[in-house]
Chain A
Amino acid sequence: MHHPTSTADLTALIRDAAARAQPLRLVARGTWLNGGAPVSTTAEPVHLDAFSGIIEYEPGDLTITVGAATTLAELEAVTAAHHQWCPLAPWGGDAGSVGATVATATAGPFAHALGLPRDLVLGLEYVDGTGKVLRPGGKVVKNVAGFDLTRLLTGSWGTLGAITRVSLRLRAHPATVETWAVAIDEAHAGDIVRGLRRSATPPDACEALDATLAVQLGLGAQSQLLVRLAGNAAFVAAARADLHSRGAAVAADASLWMRLREAPRAAVARAAMSPGVRALNDRVKRTFDPANILNPGIMG
């Protein structure tokens, strides 16, 4: 077991593992989603929890830089004190780390309206498979300087580098927020979700729950639509009226969103790659982790 406490430690450890061709398994909070494929059983765990804490937070900029192992719960608490939040809010709940959320590009219920991880990450610090400390991107909200290693790392499942720092975009809390549950016929769930998202007053989250999940969340035995309306008071009033015109909506507790995020989920589905795209992926991996030691096998 390895427990690096600085990027210099991490560099030394990755260089050493590369020289020994020893696979490593990156761990921050140990809550990663099922990637659909196990990491090689001979991999030595590398605990990254030392890379934790708020590094820079200027609320007026609506951006924050944190150590990658910072929990989502800490990110939420620190930003909430300034009436701000990060819409990453991924499936799996708030026990996991910011770094793992970015590494796995795990979205959540707010992604459709407020952005996927790739849309929210501004910059990174990470150590690649050759032991180099890299700092692509930045901490400002708009940045096209250089080739986009930040997007490349987002969703790379720790196979191209161990992320140590993340800069993120934040949002101000909306003035008014309401959560509603609407009993629905599961067969029409897709149409109802589409209809709501295309209304003049779209919700900022809208998830269809099957009957099993509805029971788990204490919403009764019928399929439900969980809807979050957010905006100024007049907007939310209009959105509420629109929602009521579509079905019998019942006011629900905001804590349901966390319980929904924490509910168990299926393994990540992976689409087949064309030979050309597969070749590019292989080249990327060979370029940034030539010894094939970082989370080998996890992407299938």
Chain B
Amino acid sequence: MTLADTLRAIVGETHVLVRPAELIVYESDGLPGYHRRPSLAVFPADADEALRVVRALAAEGVSFVPRGAGTGLSGGALADGTVLLGLQRMRKILEIDPVRRVARVEPGVVNVSLTKAAAPFSLHYAPDPSSQTACTLGGNLAENAGGPHCLKYGVTLNHVVGAVVALPDGEVVTLGDPHGTGDAAGYDLLGAFVGSEGCFGVALELTVKLTPNPERVVTLLADFTSINDAAETVSAIIAAGVLPAALEMMDQATIGAVESSIYAAGYPTDAAAILLVEVDGAAAGLDDDVQAVDRLCRAHGARDVRIATEPAARAKLWQGRKKAFGAMGRLAPHLVVQDAVVPRTKLTALLAQIAEIGGRHRVRVCNVFHAGDGNLHPNIAYDAGDADESARVHLAMKEIMQACIDAGGTITGEHGVGLDKLAYMDSLFTADTLDAMCRLRDVFDPERRANPGKVVPVRFCREQRPHKSAG
């Protein structure tokens, strides 16, 4: 029996794809520019089927790549001639416990579906990547995904309390404390698993925290004629002790792209930059925070501050931000998306450096980012068919990333390393640290079959020692 036949016997005829024409869909993720074709794609319906698939792959010694909705922005969910294990059929919300404020879900549940399901209890799932209407919670776990509201509420790591995981060898372990007993038990393996980009195994079930909906939410849009003024306002708001739920910035190039698209949100197209600030929480005291933000924006040169309190008006302000990457798709056929983080106080200097680098290489950088966290997304729309332009884009990006590292930052705040940022890993970490990361992966996957070749460049991984023996 071939591997495909074995897998068909587990998941059914129609849920194993082998023909190139069918597999072409899975050649890329949310980041255009990388194409890797899997040898086969298999889509289990539930945890039992998924586990049997993992065990069948283990028995054959076959490598595999777990994948949720394929919205990732690092090329992480691409399978290069190996098996693609698609989890999007596993989309059952197994339990919502409004008393403990947790939900138990399958990995293929779409992020926003959980928030919708929790709404009757006035709860929501807090991490909100811009792709939240499509991305899956399993993918969020693998990437340690963020989102605009992570400034106040934290990233995926801070919201996952437990996971049932199939290790690549087919063993099933429960990591974390899904039942909330509160007892320490060994190392924080859940903490290590979150953000492991599919290299440590497959989450079959997740237990995540649900967050109470705030009593009131106010969204402010401040527009600036100077990008420096906008960046300095960010630091001023944080320094004043106000912790907004979100603090986002978009530059003129991004505003232009959004406003000429179907996602137009009514942003002022002549502004050098806008800040989108959301303040939420208890009704008591909220107006004081809103006024403080308003005052700080104006004191730092904002031309105008619009305040939206009604859900429809707020949603419109947010639409342009959440769909900004999509809107950039209109500018050119390809888009490089970066995800560097710099210390907040370096934002002004970095934005100037990015503009200088972009200008020197004649590429158009659009900045749209989580300013409150210092999490930059300098994106460049370009035509990959134009070899000269592609080369300039590549050079510009390399310089931008090095500038962020030199400023004391990091190469990815929420998108993951995947394939796309492998080349920057040794600028950020020492060879010993990269090797230690490989050794941690070997704890979970000694055969290195889960998402091979991602996250840590293979040349930094020492030959593995025999591991399988005792215990």
Tell me if B341 and A141 are in contact (CB < 8 A).
Answer: yes
Number of A-B contacts defined by CB within 8 Å? 235
Q: How far is the CA of A274 from the CA of B174 in the complex (A)?
A: 8
Tell me if A283 and B282 are in contact (CB < 8 A).
Answer: no
B441 contacts A by Cβ under 8 Å: yes
Q: How far is the CA of A172 from the CA of B63 in the complex (A)?
A: 47
Task: Specify which chain A residues have a CB less than 8 angstroms from the CB of B173 in the assembled complex.
Answer: 274, 276-277, 280
A152 contacts B by Cβ under 8 Å: yes
Tell me, rounded to whole Å, the shortest Cβ–Cβ distance linking A111 to chain B: 11
Q: Report if A146-B442 is in contact (Cβ < 8 Å); known contacts: A175-B241, A232-B288, A279-B471.
A: no
Tell me, rounded to whole Å, the shortest Cβ–Cβ distance linking B388 to chain A: 31
A31 contacts B by Cβ under 8 Å: no
Q: How far is the CA of A105 from the CA of B185 in the complex (A)?
A: 12
Tell me if A238 and B239 are in contact (CB < 8 A).
Answer: no
Can you name the residue of chain A whose Cβ is closest to the Cβ of B145? A144
**Contact digits for A82-100, partner B, Cβ 8 Å, 1 yes 0 no:** 0100000000000000000
Can you name the residue of chain B whose Cβ is closest to the Cβ of A152? B192
Tally A residues with Cβ within 8 Å of B. 71
A15 contacts B by Cβ under 8 Å: no
Among the interface residues A119, A160, A171, which one has the most CB atoms of the partner chain B within 10 A? A119
Tell me if A232 and B374 are in contact (CB < 8 A).
Answer: no
A-B contact pairs, 29 of them (CB 8 A): A58-B345, A62-B238, A62-B344, A83-B241, A118-B157, A134-B436, A138-B408, A142-B150, A143-B413, A144-B412, A145-B417, A145-B429, A146-B437, A149-B440, A152-B440, A155-B184, A155-B187, A155-B188, A160-B187, A200-B282, A231-B285, A234-B284, A270-B183, A270-B184, A280-B173, A280-B186, A280-B443, A283-B443, A284-B187
Tell me if A60 and B345 are in contact (CB < 8 A).
Answer: yes
Q: Report if A147-B441 is in contact (Cβ < 8 Å); known contacts: A235-B284, A273-B186, A276-B172.
A: yes
Among the interface residues A236, A270, A276, which one has the most CB atoms of the partner chain B within 10 A? A276
**Contact digits for A151-180, partner B, Cβ 8 Å, 1 yes 0 no:** 110111000100000000001111100000
**Contact digits for B358-383, partner A, Cβ 8 Å, 1 yes 0 no:** 00000000000010011100000000
Tell me if B283 and A115 are in contact (CB < 8 A).
Answer: no
Tell me if A239 and B191 are in contact (CB < 8 A).
Answer: no
Can you name the residue of chain A whose Cβ is closest to the Cβ of B190? A151
Tally B residues with Cβ within 8 Å of A. 85
Q: How far is the CA of A281 from the CA of B188 in the complex (A)?
A: 9
Among the interface residues A144, A172, A299, which one has the most CB atoms of the partner chain B within 10 A? A144
A211 contacts B by Cβ under 8 Å: no
Task: Specify which chain A residues have a CB less than 8 angstroms from the CB of B154 in the assembled complex.
Answer: 115, 119
Which listed residue, B158, B192, B238, B433, touches A115 by the CB 8 Å rule?
A: B158
Q: Report if A144-B416 is in contact (Cβ < 8 Å); known contacts: A239-B284, A274-B174, A277-B174.
A: yes
Tell me if A281 and B186 are in contact (CB < 8 A).
Answer: yes
B34 contacts A by Cβ under 8 Å: no
Task: Specify which chain A residues have a CB less than 8 angstroms from the CB of B215 in the assembled complex.
Answer: 200
Can you name the residue of chain A whose Cβ is closest to the Cβ of B177? A271
Interface 9-residue window, one of B9-17, B86-94, B193-201: B193-201
A128 contacts B by Cβ under 8 Å: yes
Tell me if B437 and A136 are in contact (CB < 8 A).
Answer: yes
A251 contacts B by Cβ under 8 Å: no
Given A60-B344, A83-B241, A282-B471, 13 additional A-B pairs, CB 8 A: A60-B345, A133-B430, A134-B436, A138-B409, A144-B414, A146-B417, A173-B241, A234-B285, A235-B282, A235-B288, A269-B183, A270-B183, A287-B439
A228 contacts B by Cβ under 8 Å: no
